[in-house]
Structure 1
Amino acid sequence: MNPVRLLIVLVAAVSAIGLAVVMQRAMGGKPAAAPSAAVAPVAGKPMTQVLVAKRDLAIGDRLTGDDVTWQAWPTEAVNAAFITNGAAQPKPQGAAKVTAAAAIAASDMIGGVDPAKAVEGAIVRDPILTGEPITPRKIVRGGDGGYLSVVLSPGKRAMAVPITSETAVGGFILPGDRVDVLQTREEVGPTGDGGSGKVMIAETILENVRVLALDQSTAAEKDAKSIVAATATIEVGPIDAEALTKAKAGGPVTLALRAYTDLGGPSGVTTRAARRKPGEDNLVRINRGGETTNVSVRP
């Protein structure tokens, strides 16, 4: 073949290839599908609408429709405790979330009541974070009841204790903390020298009880590290309530803050306080600077 003619053919072939590339890019970079080829649809991952919190919810908050919303959740990851609309649907294209209005309109009714409306009026028992699924364990249907009647643990009572900054760790005790309740009192007993006199007794009456509120505050304000209050409301059992009432009548009480790691220990009236009988105190005689002090101790 003539070299000139061969060169012309090669240039034409290169030009045709370049034109094809340009046209492909102009059409979005996707090559045209062959007429006989069938495109298989991509199946969406099954999703279920789960009721979640729209904002951070604190203990004692009463839920309204503005506090919750529906959110698409992978069906395979739905926990049995989650509140759902009972229907699975394909994963929405182009939207990670479904608006509350659209979800409620399309949701199945459970027992004739929409789940989002069923939680209205409930009171938050444990903190719930934004986007966290609502579970029955973390809310209480309070109805017309007050805050304390629904946040109290079953069988427990709420009792108020007068406090000061000195008897409440300088105000560093906050709602939700665990404390011991100590009583200080004077009693007449043997002095150890054959006579009798007044002795000062300090005794732990209750241990590891939960603080429900300080005055009317059921939660510390954001970033607050202390609350100076005149009254602490604590959660006690029926027998604990009797012991605390006797302690308050016998002398001033003091709250001792417990470490967070001690929360799982025994709670309620101490065995020592429950078994104590008058006259069972052991006296220790202390001589200091020429003065003698009698202190009652317990084994």
Structure 2
Amino acid sequence: MNPVRLLIVLVAAVSAIGLAVVMQRALGGKPAVATAIAAPASSRPMTQVLVAKRDLTIGTRLTGEDVTWQAWPTEAVNAAFITNGAALPKPEGAAKAKAAVANAASDMIGGVDPAKAVEGAIVRDPILTGEPITPRKIVRGGDGGYLSVVLSPGKRAMSVPVTSETAVGGFILPGDRVDVLQTREASGSSDGGSDKVLIAETILQNVRVLALDQSTAAEKDAKSIVAATATIEVAPADAEALTRAKATGPVTLALRAYTDLGGPSGAVGRVEHKVHEEAVIRINRGGQTTNIPVRP
């Protein structure tokens, strides 16, 4: 080989090695080859997916603090995930996936901000930290199965007819605590006749209101709801007592203070209301008996 040509080859080889060393140092000691391989991976299209920020147990009512956005490989996005539609891929197949995701999210959230749409929803199945939020895992007011998730274990949901008069003018809202009072008539004797006396007594105390008509939550800034029915949470035995009360007379709801949340709840011991009856004293004189009524 020509000495001049050989010298040129050697100088080029040394220069290439020196350039590789300089590039490696500039990249923090990482091999240039590894960086070149990792570069395509970092440019993969990503989509923001709504996930749980912490472990969520059954019955948890979601707030904005429970969820967050997390970057997710777009090709791995499931149609049931809630996304913000950002950084979607260009290939035709991925475009179809984008449309499916957008449609699923739109159906669930109704066109509002996804993060806000899940606020107030109830967790139906456990959701782990970092797990995507899906419609199957949560239930919102108005959805099927909502009350069965909201109910406390072992409790029952029962509805009672109400009016603005029997529901504190509509100021009772879902989540409030109430007493259930029954009004009925009782008969008694007075002055040899028969009188009807109106009796009011508390049947249930400190029970939770689950819904008013089909509203499971008051609208924003709403202070009252005028409804025809109120659905309350009761124990099985209390449900029987409430059924009997509804059959024998109208019921009224009495709103309790927020501080009564931890107080006794459920059926109240029935108080026997005795109508004023006359006592009779018999006086026997000379073989004649006289009855003299005496009021207690």
Normalization by structure 2: what TM-score?
A: 0.50
Normalization by structure 1: what TM-score?
A: 0.49
Kindly indicate which of the two structures has a greater share of residues assigned to helix: 2
